[in-house]
Amino acid sequence: MLSKKHRLPRELFDKVLEKGRFFRSPNLTLKVLPAPDGISRFSFVTSGKVSKKATERNLFRRRGYATAAKLLFQLKSPLWIAIFFKPSVKHKVFSDIESELTEILLQ
């Protein structure tokens, strides 16, 4: 699990949405902004389009944070990252999502 220190708080989330660079993949959308404070932070968003059930949406978010914890110290520079799951992610296995996220973040 990712510690609170490395989660993106709401007040910084808006900055990432406004000024962040945009990346797309088949199952994920990312907004990335270089971290001015030198600490990498992640935020995962799962909309109601992915699943109507909150438990399923939370499962995707928890899995995302677990993957981010593994990748945290492999990033080349500190970044603030907002990751949005697309509805197509519902039909994917966790290992596919994890590899896709790893591929995007380590570019």
Beta bridge partners of 46: 85
Cα end-to-end distance, the chain, whole Å: 23
Q: Which CATH code fits 4-105?
A: 3.30.230.10
Give the 3-state secondary structure of residue 10: helix
Q: Where are the domains of the chain?
A: 4-105
pLDDT digit string (tens) for the chain, length 107 residues: 788 999 999 999 999 999 999 999 999 999 999 999 999 999 999 999 999 999 999 999 999 999 999 988 898 899 999 999 999 999 899 999 999 999 988 87
